[in-house]
Amino acid sequence: MALAAATVCLAAQGTPAIVPELSDREFWNLVEQLSERDGYFEDENYVSNELGYQSAMGRLQSAIAPGGVYVGVGPEQNFAYVAALRPRIAFVVDIRRQNTMQHLMYKALFELSADRADFLSRLFSRPRPEGLDAASSVDALFQAYSKTAPDERLFDETLAGILDVLTSRHGYGLTEGDRASIRKVFTAFRDLGPEVRYVFRGTSELHPTYAQMMTAKDGEGRGWSYLASAETFEQIRVMERRNQIVPVVGDFAGPKALRSIGDYVRSRGAAIDVFYLSNVEPYLFTAGTWRTFYDNVATMPLAASGLFVRAFFGSTVKECAALRPTIRTPVIGAMAPLMDAYRRGEVKSQCDLVTASR
């Protein structure tokens, strides 16, 4: 409530507030102006691999009031967090421009699709099975599409529709490289369908499939994916149509993206409530660039009660084995105490992140 009141006060004094809808020009200007140059990542993260994400959703929803600002990383898992938290605006930052193009692909598919069954038909380039409707369960949807073969004509028609929505209808200035990235990602979803998964190069480890990610349930049997219900799907579709989910190209330890997002949010009298980090921090500790990341975060307007959401994988297990870190299941840590500890020089390794999370 205090944040909302402060935002109203600032807006009344002439500070532009975060509006409920961005024009196409405003949206594209944000994508381009906030972004850094295309970067490199060795894996093909078409899909998240944090299968335990659903266990954190209830706690996040209880702790964070709707109407805030969300920042995240990666592909579709952001939709689950956004659906649960209901922010006014969401920024999705990733080092590769391909991820931005993947989010624009999703954006167009939300606009083209009438319901979840239609959306999955287009996403996987598979004809819609009979018997599915807006009330079908997420399990029924994926069971049906797991038995359906891809259709090349539908692939071509949908790809053309995606590019038409983005370039003709909305006027986004896609380059030939952008178009190629969209085709690459869309082809992966056609070829593998519901079985598409995160590809971790150099190992034979199998990560969860899209179907597993979308149908995962918490301990009470509740699904938290953006396809778990017609309501969550519609919420993301509305936000996409209002240009409230903004993909940005940026390295967390880069010179521009995070600081520019922070400047934008601050200029609107708002603060960041949730920053979903996935397992980027361990990569930054390995690369030796983690201090630059936290210096970037220190410039951002963080809500007093704001939360980091992070995940740990193999490198954390190896380095911090004695702490028994939770693996593949996002954990939550308060922003303010960690940033205070960083300023005091008390953050020295990713093991400090384990102790700061629950």
Is the pLDDT at 11 greater than 60, yes or no? no
pLDDT bin (cut points 50, 70, 90) of residue 14 is low
Q: Give yes or no for a contact between 80 and 239, defined as CB atoms under 8 angstroms apart.
A: no
pLDDT in tens, 87-115: 999 999 999 999 999 999 999 999 999 99
pLDDT in tens, 114-133: 999 999 999 999 999 999 99
In the predicted model, what is the mean pLDDT of residues 122-151? 97
pLDDT bin (cut points 50, 70, 90) of residue 135 is very high
Alpha carbons within 13 angstroms on the beta-carbon side of residue 135 total: 0
**Residue type for 106, please?**
Y
Structure tokens at 302: 């963080």
pLDDT in tens, 288-314: 999 999 999 999 999 999 999 999 998
pTM for this one?
0.94
Interhelix angle 54-63/77-85, rounded to 10 degrees, is 30
Q: Give yes or no for a contact between 179 and 163, defined as CB atoms under 8 angstroms apart.
A: yes
Query: Which of 14, 47, 23, 68 is CA-nearest to residue 200?
Result: 47
Q: Give yes or no for a contact between 332 and 276, defined as CB atoms under 8 angstroms apart.
A: no
Structure tokens at 132: 């599915």
In the predicted model, what is the mean pLDDT of residues 61-75? 97
pLDDT bin (cut points 50, 70, 90) of residue 12 is very low
Please name the helix (run of DSSP H) or strand (run of DSSP E) that holds residue 292, with its range, or none.
helix 290-298
pLDDT for the residue 124: 98
Query: Which of 32, 190, 25, 34 is CA-nearest to residue 109?
Result: 190
Query: Which of 39, 22, 40, 42 is CA-nearest to residue 31?
Result: 22
Strands 245-249, 302-310: parallel, antiparallel or unpaired by DSSP? unpaired
Strands 89-94, 302-310: parallel, antiparallel or unpaired by DSSP? unpaired
pLDDT in tens, 177-218: 999 999 999 999 999 999 999 876 655 567 899 999 999 999
Q: What's the CA gap between 225 and 214, in Å, rounded? A: 5
Long-range contacts of 201-207 (CB under 8 A, 24+ apart): 201/42, 201/43, 201/44, 202/42, 207/47, 207/49
Give the C-alpha distances (Å, rounded to integers) separating 98 from 66, 74, 75, 279, 352.
Answer: 29, 10, 10, 19, 32
In the predicted model, what is the mean pLDDT of residues 9-18? 59
